[in-house]
Amino acid sequence: MNWKRVCSALLAAALLFCAGIRVFAAEIPEEALPAAVSQPSLPCRAALLMSSDTGEVLYEMNADEELAMASITKVMTVLLAFEALEAGKIHLEDAVPVTKHAASMGGSQIWLEPGEHFTLHEMLKAICVNSANDAAVAVAEFVGGSEPAFVEQMNTRAAELGMMHTCFKNACGLDEEGHHSTARDIAVMSRELMRHEAVFEYTKIWTDTLRGGETQLTNTNKLLRSYDGITGLKTGTTGKAGVCITASATREGTGLIAVILGSASSKERFAAATALLDYGYANFERADVPAVQELPAGLPVKGGSEKFVPISCQLPQSLVVKKGESGALRCELVLQEQLQAPVAAGAQVGEISVYNGDTLVQTCPVVTQIGVEKMTFRLAMQLLLNALFQIQDK
């Protein structure tokens, strides 16, 4: 008899029984829910609320304190897997082998056996739904060749994302010295994962099975059953980290990420995430950034091979503002009148500043789309000859 699978079935049955009882919404104390304009008081060590649409921070508490992050680590593990999928390096149908190292992981798991094979699709399901440590390490070995090599990739990607207070030591989030992150860095990492919308096909699963129905999976994110608009993203619990969550939600096209680190209990974790998301939806809304009518298509160039260079600015289409302030958004343009050759492609020639009333919200550079050489006698003769040949061809 395979005792690991028997234990899996018994545990899953218990989880499914408990899952039918919607307790979390009812257990959130009224004082934890924010008033229309007041900031919430949260039972945790650190927290941050971010717009997943724009990256704007709407609330923070000890957001840069370096803390253990438990299984929220798996956000980066899944992100690297999705990036490898997008690059065509791996495929969802690929068989992921199970090594002794992967099978030895403790904590939350699906009781993998060395030599077993699951598809990458099944492994991602086990990670996102059941927070399986063994599946996370198996995927890390599959994508990176080994867990240490994959951890190097995790830290490299964190640096690329500007996660300056994050250090990964493993791929699953079990407590390890030096393995830490911050609420701000986790929000950045979560937002990057959410760019891969296929991840929600996994994070929104409530229950599922593996091994032909022998292994039951139940989502560790109980907000899926109690919060309107929840889409994910990842829970985490260890002795060092406490009880944590990075929760994502979307309502009427507005996306939010609520990061909660270091709660004392699962009840407090979900209550804090609920209060923070409620605060966001009660007090903020997306507003269209007004178009800059005076932005020309290009600028004149003096002494260049071209008399005109096209310009552009990646101005955001919308920003998140406090409710009722959408009409206060305005843009100011500062732009050079003329350029002197040579002009490099991508050179900044001005900027557009977005204000909410008198408060500067964001600055966007205006840049050249192409380069323009400086006119020389040799270049002038070449252009003249090219023009003559074109006339002859006609």
Scanning the structure block, which residue is given the tokens 């600015």?
313
- Max Cα separation, the chain? 89
From 8, 51, 52, 74, the catalytic residue = 74
The encoded tokens of residue 174 equal: 């079990």
From 108, 131, 190, 305, the catalytic residue = 131
Task: Express the helix, strand and coil content of the chain in percent, nearest 5 each.
Answer: 35, 30, 35
Q: What angle (nearest 5°) sits at the alpha carbon of residue 286, between those of residues 281 and 291?
A: 170
Whole-angstrom CA distances from 164 to 77, 154, 168, 181 are: 18, 13, 12, 9
CA distance 137 to 148: 10
Let me know if 74 is a catalytic residue.
yes
CA distance 59 to 294: 35
Let me know if 240 is a catalytic residue.
no
Let me know if 104 is a catalytic residue.
no
Backbone angles phi, psi at 41, to 5 degrees: -100, 120
From 8, 52, 71, 263, the catalytic residue = 71
CA distance 353 to 330: 8
Helix locations, the chain, DSSP H: 3-19, 24-27, 74-86, 100-103, 120-130, 133-144, 147-160, 183-194, 200-203, 266-283, 377-393
| CB contact at 8 A, 42 and 63 | no
SS3 256: strand
* Range 266-270 contact pairs with CB under 8 angstroms and sequence separation of 24 or more: 266/222, 266/237, 267/24, 267/27, 268/43, 268/44, 268/243, 269/44, 269/235, 269/243, 269/244, 269/245, 270/24, 270/28, 270/222, 270/223, 270/226, 270/245
State the sign of the Cα–Cα–Cα–Cα dihedral 125, 129, 133, 136: positive
| CB contact at 8 A, 261 and 165 | no
CA distance 224 to 163: 28
CA distance 236 to 259: 11
Residue numbers annotated as active site: 71, 74, 131
